[in-house]
Structure 1
Amino acid sequence: MRRTGHLWRTRSEREGSAEDQASIRRILEAAFGTDAEADLVDELRDEQTHWISRYSVLGFTAAIPDSEFETSAAAYALLHRCTVGGQPGLMLAPTGVLPQHQGEGAGTAVIEAVLELAREDGEPFVLVYGYPHYYPRFGFRPASKLGITADWADQTEALQVRVLDEDALLPSGKVELPAAYKV
């Protein structure tokens, strides 16, 4: 892993900010080499029942520690609503980092920031469908062990859950994603 000593600042997307939306699009297109994830975010933003602007988080290098100065955005993470067995939950998707900043901690910074926001808000859990070797560092574990499944999940081990409230009664059943996913 390449480290450059960057300090990462994170903040939620400013609602209605064309600049933030352009930054998110730039990050996701560069990270994935396609506009599919950026288009997904735009569609989710239009689905008010699934969109929570507080959980749309950008990461910036902080040129001066503890300053308000932000350089251009380098990383992005989003939590949006989904359902599990008909009960509301959160899904972490998409996340991305500009290629020139991968391995510098930018992705970790935005993922940790968005998970902390959800925990502060009393959300019980977050799901992710992603690399099984990457997400456990954030406390994710196989969702199937809690009875959470998804018809669209081709790789069962990639569907993972992070419990944010150990006292919460977690739902089990099938994960349903917003219509923007077209699954």
Structure 2
Amino acid sequence: MVKIGLTGGIATGKTTISKYLASLGIKVIDADLIAREVLDLYPEILSYLRRTYGDRVFSDGKLDRKALGRIVFQNKEALSRYLQVIMPRIRQEIEKRLEKSEEEFIILDAPLLFEEGFQKDVDLTITVYAQKKVQLERLKKRDGFTEEEARRRISAQMDLKDKMDRSTYVLNNSGRIEDTILDLHAILDKIGFKDEKKDKEKK
């Protein structure tokens, strides 16, 4: 089994790459999806949020993720405290799913791959990169952020250069997605993944 850690900064296109890899038949363990699931699996997380923020992060009794994001991504201490509560449960679920997997190739899609030490659980890593100006434009267009909000959200994360320096491979997604996919396939070829659909098309 080859375990691949996939990470990147906000609005770099990591999710697009992750979905494309899944379309090739590669199993993807999505840390963001697990982060949502643990809220149901471990009620103490929601209890912590209600005790800490009250109704500010709830709407009709349900967690308002955007409201929570506006709070924790504007305050590094608040983000750190939240991660201390939720991350042990996310790690628990990720490790459980990695152990159960029997596929030849598996992707761990984790925004906090390096920040939380998940690179130790995989064999190699890929960081999806985009120029900061591209990130800013995508964030403003996608989420309706102001320039200041977009910059704040980017600065709340580990510097992309640090992630790139620590990665086995870097995938530049600043331009056309078609070019990024070609570069991705070059990486997949290097690690021994054969795209059966592509091979059939050639024949």
Question: Which TM bucket (shorter chain)?
Answer: 0.3 to 0.5
Bigger strand fraction:
1
Higher relative contact order (CA 8 A, sep 6+): 2
Query: TM-score, structure 2 length as denominator?
Result: 0.30
Query: Whose radius of gyration is greater, 1 or 2?
Result: 2
Query: TM-score, structure 1 length as denominator?
Result: 0.32
